[in-house]
Structure 1
Amino acid sequence: MAKIAPSLSREGLGLAPSRHGTVTAVSMMKDEGPFLLEWVAHHLTVGFNRLVVYTNDCSDGTDTMLIRLEELGLAYHRRNVIPEGLRPQPSALNHAQDEPLVAESDWVLVFDADEFLCIRYGDGTLNDLLDGVKAQGANGMVITWRIFGSGGVHDWSRAPVTEQYLRAAPKEWNKGWGVKTLFQFDPAHWKLGIHRPKIKNKWLESDFPDSIKWLNGSGRAMEDYFKFRGWRSITRTVGYDWAQINHYAVKSIDSYAIRKFRGNVNLKKDKYNADYWALQDRNEVQDDAMLRYSAERKRVFDLLLSDPELNRLHHAALDRAEARLAEFKGLPAYDEMVAGLKAASQVPIDAVVAKPPQARDPEKIAALMSRVEKQSNETERVARKALGPQRGTGLAEPAAQGLASGVEWVANHEIALPLDPGHFSPSGLEQIAAGKFDRGVARILPRLLQGAARHLELGAGCGFRAAVLARARPVLQQIQQESDPGRVKLIRAIWERNGLEKQNNLTLRAGALDQEALQELIETFRPDSLLIADPALDPQILMQALRSGAPALRLILAGPAMAESQRWQAIFPALAAARPDETQPEFLLAQLARAD
């Protein structure tokens, strides 16, 4: 065994200890020698304190490099012995399920050699990210892919992958929404999976599913369906604010050529064709968040190369890849491939076809669904229906502080709205682009307020409802209240764009309201209609403010407050009993819920 440099222990590398026990990365690799040390250095920097990698049929020394890393105590190498008829990835996960190093882990993330975890939350480490996850009482995070393309790079380079490729697909591009799941692992309850773990059958009808709380990549609670099935984010669950998986599936044309001519981990013979390139070579937007790790990753990478044996193996893998590439470049097949890839790079993003791994069979899925999954899905369906036509707010969380430069504006119900991902969620952006943002509310709200003279809205959101009312009912006096500073700026920008910022009948009240301020506002303004969209507003505070000083009132719930409809309805008997007969409130929840 080669001599071990004393500086190449975890302590010698200066890596911070984990605050969350053993956090393990499980991966499967074949001929990843040129990129292995960058992958290892990056994920040690991010905060994994255990790397377990399975290899099969390597010809470029990847397995030998991992064996050396295990000798140094920096990774663990396992042979992926593949049973007849099984593909390499499922085989590796079966081995990992029984591997003691994985079983004793506190947290596990399964991901590939072309995937790099990028954390935007906190200081960019797993320590801070898991602090945030646990602060919400969660035990997992579903992290969505961000597809990174070639950036127009053709030639092979030894430069780091994470610094060469900084162009990616837009966040709202749903064909790139595959996921990987970081979760608290208990092998008695979970079966490891490529995209998410699977609850073992014997626990499906128990209380165990209720104990699972996973967040999405923006730190918001995932829907319950994902406990049971799925491998992609959907419009309601996608998020990138806390973390993403940077997926470098193609890299440069030359890198792609090396991979194409050597096969792949899942033995898909036709995978690396022009269609796959068109899907993965997405370069529409700049994303350089990964550069936050550059200095520390390089420090760790250079220390790894200070080991003579690792240094020799790393450069041998590079030399081997470059020699193979030199052979390919003289072949007609290489020229044909390059021409095909360059043509595929011109395919517009809205013309890309992504074929699912297998055809969807609704009857088969229904047969596989357990009773507890059906019950869970139905509960969430009812909750979403209660949200009414908005399906939430359509707004991003958290809101940006200002509009992005050069943002496109699109007319929605004659109100121009900005296509700004800093302010609107992916679903909200889709609605805006189609001219259908909050269309149900926009149609019905002016009719609901016929006869009203003074309208107060608590939780104005982006100010769209107010703008629609200002156009449809110009004599209506409005006060719009919004607590979030970023949304206040958005409201002002939208009203200015639509020529409403100087309208005397439209007033914006920025900042939160306590009970005293709310009561004063109601007594002074004396609204005859009140729309509640702020889910943080306490019904008891509003009830106290409405006990006196307000005329007969129409009360309307909208947006996220609709999810709390039962809590709001509960205050109305007490409110009605406290007010004279002639000022009884009229509760319009049901009418607005049918607006779509």
Structure 2
Amino acid sequence: MLAVSMMKDEAPFLLEWYAHHLAVGFTKILVYTNDCSDGTDDMLIRLEELGLGYHRRNDIPEGAKPQPSAINYAQAEPIVQGADWVLLFDADEFLCINYGDGTLDQMLDAAGDANGIVITWRIFGSGNIVDWSRAPVTDQYLYAAPPTWNKGWGVKTLFKFDHDKWKLGIHRPSIKNKHLETDFPDSVKWLNGSGLPMEDYFKFRGWRSIRRTVGYQWAQMNHYAVKSVDSYAVRKFRGNVNNKKDKYNADYWALQDRNEVRDENILRYREKRQAIMDELLTDPVLNKLHFDALDRIEARLEEYRKTDAYQELKQSLIEASQVPITQVSAKPPKARDPAEIAALMSKVEKQNAARPIEERRTKPSAEFIDTHEGGDGFVVGDIDVSAEAAVDWVTNHGIDMPADVRIFSPSQLDMVLRGKYQRKLARLSGRMVENGDTVLDLGAGVGFLSIYTCTIFDRATVIAQEDNASRLVIARNILDHNGFAFGTRLSFDVTQVIWPDDPNKTADAINDLISRYKPDVLRISYAEIGAGVLGNLNLAGVKQVVLIGGAARGFHLASQKVKTAGLHPNEDVSVPEIVVLEQKA
């Protein structure tokens, strides 16, 4: 497994980057350098002498840019041509595998016969750190943009390399023209960062994820484009790999300095990475090169700090850090022209697009469904409702829902982004409720199903109960955002009904609500309410009990208990219908 990178003056960060990716499981590392002035190339030469990697000079042809030049050299490099899996990425990018034990081996074993994994960026900001520090990058910067922030959805691709068929690229390889109209494209099976099949178009074009393809459950590419203010100043000293003008200014900082969500996933490598780095530093040559580089850059930074230019830069970046994520501007994407896109599509892509959709898209396997953290589809615990983290609102069944990482577990957030949140339950609402019914929703979450019921039934009354009060704050935000006003037809109740260690107390609390609201329909989402609790409920006036989500998954009710739940044997009343709906997607 080969990592390929391009660097210029990365000496302060090189050994951490190197040690980290050895910890991830790369067996070979190849780095191209150009015009280094801080000892980066000397360190890489020493690493090669120690048998730990490979270094190549990036001699840039006139008129060419550094990064594309290095990629062209890599295409012809025997080490690359002999590699099985290849990932091409930058020195400010750190691969973080969330799957299994965090190693490439386990993730690739899980990928089966797939021959590529498309890994989406997570944009990590400064964490409001100003001063320079020698502490590891992956220890210092633990705040990132929400994973739903599509401005940060660039990708890097880990794939099985065949020199004859693939041409390397910055974000993903491309199929060589001579193979486009052969059977080769049909053999390309790429997964996204959650282990789900990529859409077919990405075989031929694209450099970033979209709502339908983004995923982080298996892997993410942590992108530390800015780091601290002082680190950013250091980057200005050396330029960038693509010679982009005005890259290091306040606008770029505002775009990349995103700190809305704490993400500590990469800390899983801390011990192993530090052990490898400590071992590297036992080599006296590498040790001297590393600390000499740090001393030089810190001396240069100290001089720069005395200038007006530094003070102006520092102030501009601090101000840029205050720009809310909802107001960040980026280069607007070029408007999509269907005719132009059609003209650019290859013949084989056009043929592929003409196939039935069920042949073009593979249904995810059951093992890819996220079942960890928040079995009810929500992140465990209270939500910090003091700040706005929903950078996107996505319409789900006519209701705009917040794509907010604070609220939804990964698989459910994915459903929100795709506009398919609680799709099955929304479709079956007519079976659960009749117009004019009073509905008591136990465990209403952020109120989606309660709100949806009020939108489709103009005479239904819904009481949304939720033990987690912060979720009902979000429910009210959803109402306000959508401009819904249902009056007394929708109300919220934060009475606690779940007592995990006391099912009798749980039953008593629910019976109090049933007595108060006299519902026709009792909808239950709490997984804690099983047959034992249900059997102690007074359901005499309830015509239907609907078990959904966690309640459905955790509930196995014998037919006799269904008939007698909550009823005395001699009581001459109608028996409520029990409907079990397990929501999987």
TM-score by length of 2: 0.70
Greater shift in the superposed pair: 279-288 or 330-339: 330-339
Greater shift in the superposed pair: 319-328 or 142-151: 319-328
1:81 to 1:359, Cα distance in 2 relative to 1, 3 A: farther
Residue 473 of structure 1 deviates from its aligned partner by 6.3
1:58 to 1:396, Cα distance in 2 relative to 1, 3 A: same
Instruction: Report the equivalent of 2:163.
Output: 187
Contact kept, 8 Å, 1:446 with 1:473, in 2: the verdict is no
Matched, 1:73 2:73: no
Matched, 1:400 2:395: no
Q: Deviations over 1:473-517 (max 9, x none)?
A: 6999xxxxxxxxxxxxx9xx9999679995453465999xxxxxx
Matched, 1:172 2:151: no
Matched, 1:324 2:300: yes
Contact kept, 8 Å, 1:145 with 1:247, in 2: the verdict is yes
Contact kept, 8 Å, 2:212 with 2:418, in 1: the verdict is no
Instruction: Report the equivalent of 1:160.
Output: 136
In the aligned structure 2, how far is the partner of 1:251 from the partner of 1:416?
A: 32
* From 303, 319, 333, the counterpart of 1:343: 319
Instruction: Report the equivalent of 1:248.
Output: 224
1:404 to 1:379, Cα distance in 2 relative to 1, 3 A: farther
In the aligned structure 1, how far is the partner of 2:400 from the partner of 2:238?
A: 54
Contact kept, 8 Å, 2:412 with 2:421, in 1: the verdict is no
In the aligned structure 1, how far is the partner of 2:279 from the partner of 2:122?
A: 29
Contact kept, 8 Å, 1:415 with 1:467, in 2: the verdict is no
* From 313, 317, 334, the counterpart of 2:289: 313
Instruction: Report the equivalent of 1:588.
Output: none
1:470 to 1:294, Cα distance in 2 relative to 1, 3 A: same
Contact kept, 8 Å, 1:51 with 1:75, in 2: the verdict is yes
In the aligned structure 2, how far is the partner of 1:234 from the partner of 1:400?
A: 25
In the aligned structure 1, how far is the partner of 2:28 from the partner of 2:423?
A: 50
1:264 to 1:380, Cα distance in 2 relative to 1, 3 A: farther
Instruction: Report the equivalent of 2:60.
Output: 82
In the aligned structure 2, how far is the partner of 1:114 from the partner of 1:177?
A: 16
In the aligned structure 2, how far is the partner of 1:293 from the partner of 1:496?
A: 47
Residue 423 of structure 1 deviates from its aligned partner by 5.8
- Amino acid in structure 2 at the alignment position of 1:98: A
Q: Deviations over 1:54-103 (max 9, x none)?
A: 00000011011100000011010001111122111111111101101011
In the aligned structure 1, how far is the partner of 2:400 from the partner of 2:339?
A: 43
When the two chains are superposed, the root-mean-square deviation of aligned CA atoms in Å is 4.5
Contact kept, 8 Å, 2:250 with 2:317, in 1: the verdict is yes
**Structure 2 segments unaligned to the other structure (5+ residues):** 364-368, 438-443, 461-470, 476-489, 495-509, 528-542, 550-580
1:340 to 1:372, Cα distance in 2 relative to 1, 3 A: same
1:425 to 1:314, Cα distance in 2 relative to 1, 3 A: same
In the aligned structure 2, how far is the partner of 1:416 from the partner of 1:258?
A: 41
1:509 to 1:259, Cα distance in 2 relative to 1, 3 A: closer
What is the correspondence of 1:501-516 to structure 2 with a 5 Å cutoff? 503=519, 505-506=521-522
1:27 to 1:359, Cα distance in 2 relative to 1, 3 A: farther
Matched, 1:31 2:47: no
What is the correspondence of 1:76-155 to structure 2 with a 5 Å cutoff? 76-134=54-112, 137-155=113-131
1:100 to 1:188, Cα distance in 2 relative to 1, 3 A: same
- Aligned residue pairs total 471
Q: Deviations over 1:244-303 (max 9, x none)?
A: 011011011011001113211111131111111001000111111111111111111011
Task: Give the match's secondary structure for 1:261.
Answer: helix
Identity across aligned pairs (percent)? Answer: 59
Matched, 1:222 2:238: no
Residue 465 of structure 1 deviates from its aligned partner by 5.6
Greater shift in the superposed pair: 200-209 or 350-359: 350-359
In the aligned structure 1, how far is the partner of 2:451 from the partner of 2:254?
A: 41
Contact kept, 8 Å, 2:435 with 2:457, in 1: the verdict is no
Task: Give the match's secondary structure for 2:118.
Answer: strand
Instruction: Report the equivalent of 1:235.
Output: 211
1:80 to 1:497, Cα distance in 2 relative to 1, 3 A: farther
Residue 114 of structure 1 deviates from its aligned partner by 0.4
1:306 to 1:416, Cα distance in 2 relative to 1, 3 A: closer
